[in-house]
């Protein structure tokens, strides 16, 4: 007498729905991050083109606008403007990584790669966390190259190595925060093309209505408060302070983020991560249910 044992396969949709601990979730995230980093290595033009825009901004702003913009405490000094400029260029570069995150996630959704991940026994949030980690590594590499270019045009660090490392840390924290906004955008649109446009269109007003390229004192009275409370402005002023790139006579506007830029930068970035990571993971779960 034989007994036939029937095995009931578990549904793919349930594979990732089990309870997974933080350690396993981290390992899953690192696997996804490695996959995205290897993809970047196979398509190096993505990194190369990511370098072109910030380098162009450095050269154009340094030599076209240098000496034409009045810096409080330094006047129309071209060298002072180059020092003043680089904090804004660094911050703009890390925030523009948002578009890459948006397009990459939208492409994975369109090609069905997200569905394949969904069928695996892995943490749901690992797909997005791994993608944002990979984007963070790419952003760090771009910052290194950009810093070299900045040195070539006359930018210098004046406050020591530790403060410089803290400045780069704040820049990477801001960039990581903004990649979660990009992740949410990528999950909310239907194509990589729409994700790229959606990831960029709001960044231009955010970065230009700030203290990145001109002091808020030079703006209309109704616009200056918007620039001064912009989270992007807090990071720009924080890195200028930590790099020692502020003119000797510079007086920050009398508002809390400008008077406490390092603390404000860290707090703003942490709040953005907390809000948009929650929204993105929730959106991801709904998209794959």
Q: Dmax over Cα atoms in the chain, in whole Å?
A: 98
Instruction: Tell me the two tokens of residue 178.
Output: 């903004």
Asked if 74 and 249 touch (Cβ cutoff 8 Å), the reply is yes
pLDDT at 12 over 80: no
- pLDDT tens digit sequence for 223-262: 999 999 999 999 999 999 999 998 887 888 999 999 999 9
pLDDT at position 263: 97
What's the rounded mean pLDDT across residues 129-151?
Answer: 89
pLDDT at 2 over 80: no
Residues forming beta bridges with residue 226, ordered by sequence position: none
Which residue is listed with tokens 């990581």?
176
Query: Rounded to an integer, what distance in angstroms lies between the CA atom of residue 185 and that of residue 238?
Result: 27
- pLDDT tens digit sequence for 258-283: 999 999 999 999 999 999 999 998 88
Q: Read off the pTM.
A: 0.85
pLDDT at position 74: 63
Helix (H) or strand (E) segment spanning residue 278: helix 261-288
Mean of the per-residue pLDDT values of the chain: 83
187-226 CB burial, b ≥16 within 10 A, e <16: bbbeebebbbebbbeebeebbebbbbbbbbeebeeeebee
Residues forming beta bridges with residue 71, ordered by sequence position: 75
The closest of 270, 275, 101 to 169, measured between CA atoms, is 270
Instruction: Tell me the two tokens of residue 160.
Output: 């020591």
Question: Hey, where are the domains in the chain?
Answer: 22-288
How many Cα atoms within 13 Å fall on the side-chain side of residue 130?
26
The closest of 140, 143, 134 to 55, measured between CA atoms, is 143
- pLDDT tens digit sequence for 50-102: 778 788 888 887 777 776 777 776 666 778 888 888 999 999 989 987 887 88
The closest of 145, 168, 135, 185 to 53, measured between CA atoms, is 145
């Amino acid at each position: 007498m034989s007994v036939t044992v029937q095995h009931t396969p578990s549904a793919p949709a349930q594979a990732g729905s089990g309870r997974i601990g933080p350690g396993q979730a981290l390992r899953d995230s690192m696997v996804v991050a490695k996959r995205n980093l290897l993809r970047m290595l196979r398509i190096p033009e993505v990194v190369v083109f990511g370098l072109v825009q910030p380098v162009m901004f450095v050269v154009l702003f340094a030599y076209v606008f240098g000496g034409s913009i009045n810096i409080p405490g330094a006047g129309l000094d071209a060298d002072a403007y180059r020092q003043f400029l680089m904090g804004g260029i660094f911050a703009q570069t890390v925030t523009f990584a948002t578009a890459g995150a948006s397009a990459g996630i939208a492409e994975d959704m369109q090609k069905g790669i997200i569905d394949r991940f969904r069928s695996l026994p892995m943490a749901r949030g690992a797909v997005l966390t791994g993608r944002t980690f990979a984007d963070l590594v790419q952003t760090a590499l771009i910052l290194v190259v950009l810093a070299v270019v900045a040195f070539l045009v006359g930018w210098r660090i004046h406050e020591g190595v530790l403060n410089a490392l803290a400045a780069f840390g704040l820049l990477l924290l801001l960039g990581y925060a903004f990649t979660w906004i990009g992740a949410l955008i990528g999950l909310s649109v239907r194509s990589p093309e729409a994700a790229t446009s959606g990831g960029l269109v709001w960044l231009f007003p955010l970065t230009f209505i700030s203290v990145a390229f001109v002091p808020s004192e030079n703006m209309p009275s109704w616009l200056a408060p918007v620039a001064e409370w912009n989270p992007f402005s807090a990071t720009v002023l924080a890195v200028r302070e930590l790099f020692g790139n502020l003119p000797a006579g510079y007086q920050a506007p009398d508002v809390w983020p400008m008077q406490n830029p390092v603390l404000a930068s860290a707090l703003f970035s942490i709040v953005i991560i907390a809000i948009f990571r929650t929204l993105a993971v929730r959106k991801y779960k709904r998209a794959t249910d």
